[in-house]
Structure 1
């Protein structure tokens, strides 16, 4: 074994390896005897393809979505629920990214091409959260009628016969809508709705729309939910009973609702029975999470509504099997410590997830035998596994973190030298870091740079109280918690206190910029498409998050002064370390204007920085060439600032003072 300074170790894990392994699986379903799933294709400019595995064996996936099509919805900008498969007919329905129209593809005909079902609107009308209900396709429709004017509704799209493509509006009312589900008898449509200024993890309600012959009768009625309560994912157990997830105890738990009773109470019917939710499943964790992508699932009624399969999370995930009739449940070790439930069929669960020792991907899990089998992996080309770090769940003064120490089979650091560390700050800010097999993290740790993921106050997976720690404190609590973790590593002699870096994207980028302007703990930082100021941001960002800052910092106009005070852009004179910024020119969530203003101020003050803008990227990079360039630039930047060589990485040139 060779000895070399931490950060300068030779590593076979290149940025190209990381880009090639950035192929997450977003959604999966059983249909007939096959398994269908969507996955990013790095070799095709990062488009999302749809695959079918007819055997369920690893490596047997067949790409069915033709080139030139990209299954991605832009409802809420983050999309979700962009496709659905009709097993009996083999027809695939999907939202195409370029025009946001719903298309149908006959996958039984090798020569078939996608046929649009919905009108051309130049993407001013978008669809998401697709789910089949008989011969109709339910969807959340988002209409951009004028700048700043957005309207949403739940629609049913006819899928066959002479009326194919015809739309019927089933429900509207709340500004935001999710999880449209029609009861087995066809008499009721359930969904979740909420309005500004709330986000779906803050306050939502369950609505019921009565139907007659597939058409709405009267307005939708809110039957369940209250102030400061997030209600998620209503699913029908039978024609009159719903199961929902709600956090009224401070933790997302499952409840059963008798819909006719709740409707009678809402109508004020004389003699109506008291409408009370029935606790159905409570665990030591949360059965729910932040709804960033439409169609997310944390529980699934199975076995004709007599059983429930659920994911319970407290830091890591557990699979739960519950008997609806008796209330009994048991925890099942499925071999994954972070996962989402996709589907279930005859004793087999379909899961997307991973662990500290299993690559993230799509797996089948046999409940009776406990057998876990991969179908497709997000990094099927993983190489040099002996260079990958092992994740360690740690806690520092009450702040959960996942630590990845440096690891290389060929190198060790000099005696007495302590490694540099990078804290990666997740976005959201309601995200959650979990132990995983990460090519991205291995890119750093295999070179002798430690990595730590911080679950700062505001993260999900630890209950509402922990999530609410960030209310009014964004840019303060997140920074303090990150500093706490890194100081803890330094105090333990595991990290060099003079060589600490911080990196994050989106909301995490805001934390980076605040950390560099309010503390002196960091040698440098990297902000990916991060928020730099608030006053103009709230007028420029998209509708879904346009009032989010009111919760994270404070409502306007009374908090206008705090917006100015809290913004890193306005206190760059206190910038304690060089910064690297990366942004996509097509970003509509955090517009590129945020980075333009930041760069202009850095240049005006002659402060040291690196800036990269990628013309064909939006919020979250997907194109391999940009993933490679940004990652190599970030590593080279760390080496330049923290004083170690980066073999195989070109020298990074700073702009401003110190270049």
Structure 2
């Protein structure tokens, strides 16, 4: 095979193609045999469309035209933004959804004459972030929608409360806040939407309070439903959970018992819970995860089926779909090329549908008939936009880390059907640090990764200590050690690849967004790792821990650092010592800084503080700021510009020539 320098290979995977395939379907649900979900539209301003697939064999259709954007800002990351019911009178489905522009809850009847005409159900609010809604359920017999209300009481990010509320379906609350019914007075800072028992006499939900995050500890709440046609939740009590037990999901089953995904064994396993006593039985004891971090309210990792079995998403570092027999504990995995299933299962009769991807496939909507074992793609079918020979062939690896700990990573070596690198010359490698940090990088086809590997760069995604997917003990490795363990583990992978001859030790880069941006920046200022990397890409990062802990982020994560770093009042010096903004004098490697100007999670002031700290120093860098973008980029033009700028950085620093090299000013210019 012909040889060419790594990084110089021509590729059909351009930035426009990456942008067009950015994002994935989310929040799948069923209305009878219909499937509904949201899907990204990068070319339409980054909105989320609401799609509908009827069982007649046709294609999925977008229910609402632009600019309707089915998304909400509950806890800023958003929660389940729609719910629906198949009405028994033949009138077709009734669906409610939140629109991102005003955060109001709307109702539509898509089969009504003249098509869907959304009508508002909730009022506007001019206070702070207004009224926001998520994780709701329609109760036709009550004429109400039950869900989570997030209401701001002032202008500060912490001036907020969340509570379960009933919204009238008749629209009487559209201009009248007093028409909304608060369902209980058992206040918690965070909660999921209440689920009614099959007989309608009880309800359950999850709740937690600062400083805990939902993967640290949650409480399973249960209440009596009393009050006739306008019921409330009374006699609220904690059934299970606590400060060191994280319950990620709870669901009723037809016999009136509960299913809950709890990590009381050190792993998120599915338990059957007695609603009277709280006694729990592990239905499938395994050192595997049957849930993950609850970053978005309304995620669903398991779903009971009508035949008594349970569809479960499970795995260790992966997320496969299986069918669990609760009577025997037997678990049968669904066959096929999908190794990563999203927490968005939809069931009807003995069928289950989900959103699935694999190392060579984008996210698809897949339907399984458990009675026959037949599994098929019903929407978003994967189609190779280019010859798949340009895709990398990834593999999972475990590397030795400091103190003998394991470091999990996924390697994506350079791949090209017509070229190889010069013999005896290792390729440049980019170390990717995922966000969260209590999260993980899945092993799936990602055209952004293929953009680099098809040009001759290697990519290593590091699921550093603190990542999910490997049990609570691995997840807890980051407690009070953020900025240490994640930095060490990324460097351990980079050094191991160089020692193996798999990566060029002089052409290593680190990149990440959000918490990954923190890890990238911290790696460039750490005396123990700064010499590892030739450059870095830092996207919408946390850079100043003290500012972020005091008033520079949203309510959901405002106390997160107490676990990741320690209480600010007790260890203020730790906040200062680990913050990259206070050690900008240590940065010698060129870097690219990318920031959304509407980001309220990692606001621009953090990036601007770093820029001020490096001003006047001879450190090549560029800052690209994007109006209209929040935490993570959604618009196609932003995605294109960001990925081209990142490539330009690596080409410049690694000394690679190519005729189509994007232009990037590394003189500290802001654009």
Q: Is 1:202 the equivalent of 2:216? A: yes
RMSD: 2.0
Q: TM-score scaled to structure 1, two decimals?
A: 0.94
Q: Which of 337, 360, 364 is equivalent to 2:367?
A: 364
Q: For residues 162-184 of structure 1, what are the alpha-carbon distances to aligned partners after superposition, in whole Å with 9 as ceiling and x for unaligned?
A: 78994221134111001420111
Q: Is 1:167 the equivalent of 2:180? A: yes
Aligned partner of 1:108 in structure 2 is 111
Aligned partner of 1:153 in structure 2 is 163
Aligned partner of 1:99 in structure 2 is 102
Following the alignment from structure 1 to structure 2, what is the Cα–Cα distance between the partners of residues 623 and 378? 23
Following the alignment from structure 2 to structure 1, what is the Cα–Cα distance between the partners of residues 41 and 331? 39
Q: Which of 228, 233, 236 is equivalent to 2:244?
A: 228
Following the alignment from structure 1 to structure 2, what is the Cα–Cα distance between the partners of residues 537 and 638? 30
Aligned partner of 1:80 in structure 2 is 79
Using the TM superposition, give the Cα deviation of residue 217 of structure 1 relative to its aligned residue in structure 2, in angstroms: 5.1
Aligned partner of 1:633 in structure 2 is 645
Following the alignment from structure 1 to structure 2, what is the Cα–Cα distance between the partners of residues 649 and 370? 49
Deviates more, 1:171-180 or 1:41-50: 171-180
Deviates more, 1:217-226 or 1:306-315: 217-226
SS class of match (1:597):
helix
Q: Is 1:566 the equivalent of 2:578? A: yes
Using the TM superposition, give the Cα deviation of residue 243 of structure 1 relative to its aligned residue in structure 2, in angstroms: 1.2
Using the TM superposition, give the Cα deviation of residue 42 of structure 1 relative to its aligned residue in structure 2, in angstroms: 1.7
Using the TM superposition, give the Cα deviation of residue 136 of structure 1 relative to its aligned residue in structure 2, in angstroms: 2.5
**Cα distance 1:104–1:144, how it changes in 2: closer, same or farther (>3 A)?**
same
1:542–1:588 contact (8 Å) kept in structure 2: yes
Aligned partner of 1:33 in structure 2 is 33
Q: TM-score scaled to structure 2, two decimals?
A: 0.92
Aligned partner of 2:431 in structure 1 is 423
Aligned partner of 1:475 in structure 2 is 483
Aligned partner of 1:266 in structure 2 is none
1:456–1:481 contact (8 Å) kept in structure 2: yes
Aligned partner of 1:66 in structure 2 is 65
**Cα distance 1:325–1:371, how it changes in 2: closer, same or farther (>3 A)?**
closer
Q: Is 1:180 the equivalent of 2:194? A: yes
Deviates more, 1:325-334 or 1:623-632: 325-334
Following the alignment from structure 1 to structure 2, what is the Cα–Cα distance between the partners of residues 280 and 170? 32
Following the alignment from structure 1 to structure 2, what is the Cα–Cα distance between the partners of residues 424 and 378? 28
Using the TM superposition, give the Cα deviation of residue 635 of structure 1 relative to its aligned residue in structure 2, in angstroms: 0.2
1:418–1:496 contact (8 Å) kept in structure 2: yes
Using the TM superposition, give the Cα deviation of residue 363 of structure 1 relative to its aligned residue in structure 2, in angstroms: 1.4
SS class of match (1:289):
coil
Following the alignment from structure 2 to structure 1, what is the Cα–Cα distance between the partners of residues 66 and 382? 21
Following the alignment from structure 1 to structure 2, what is the Cα–Cα distance between the partners of residues 480 and 643? 27
**Cα distance 1:406–1:56, how it changes in 2: closer, same or farther (>3 A)?**
farther
Q: Is 1:246 the equivalent of 2:250? A: no
SS class of match (2:283):
strand
**Cα distance 1:56–1:532, how it changes in 2: closer, same or farther (>3 A)?**
farther
Aligned partner of 2:121 in structure 1 is 117
SS class of match (2:431):
strand
Using the TM superposition, give the Cα deviation of residue 414 of structure 1 relative to its aligned residue in structure 2, in angstroms: 1.6
Q: For residues 554-613 of structure 1, what are the alpha-carbon distances to aligned partners after superposition, in whole Å with 9 as ceiling and x for unaligned?
A: 112011111000101111111141111100000011011110111111114342211100
1:209–1:216 contact (8 Å) kept in structure 2: no
Aligned partner of 1:16 in structure 2 is 16
Using the TM superposition, give the Cα deviation of residue 647 of structure 1 relative to its aligned residue in structure 2, in angstroms: 3.4
Q: 1:286-365 maps to which residues of 2 (within 5 A)?
A: 286-303=289-306, 306-340=308-342, 341-365=344-368
SS class of match (1:459):
coil
Following the alignment from structure 2 to structure 1, what is the Cα–Cα distance between the partners of residues 606 and 80? 30
Deviates more, 1:181-190 or 1:319-328: 319-328
Following the alignment from structure 1 to structure 2, what is the Cα–Cα distance between the partners of residues 127 and 643? 50
Q: For residues 490-541 of structure 1, what are the alpha-carbon distances to aligned partners after superposition, in whole Å with 9 as ceiling and x for unaligned?
A: 1111110100001100000000001111111000000110111111111210
Following the alignment from structure 2 to structure 1, what is the Cα–Cα distance between the partners of residues 499 and 380? 38
2:121–2:173 contact (8 Å) kept in structure 1: no
Aligned partner of 2:135 in structure 1 is 129
**Cα distance 1:507–1:217, how it changes in 2: closer, same or farther (>3 A)?**
closer
2:106–2:119 contact (8 Å) kept in structure 1: yes
Aligned partner of 1:651 in structure 2 is 663
Q: 1:437-448 maps to which residues of 2 (within 5 A)?
A: 437-448=445-456
Unpaired runs of at least 5, structure 2? 401-405
Following the alignment from structure 1 to structure 2, what is the Cα–Cα distance between the partners of residues 542 and 608? 32
Deviates more, 1:311-320 or 1:147-156: 311-320
Question: How many residues end up aligned between the 2 structures?
Answer: 642
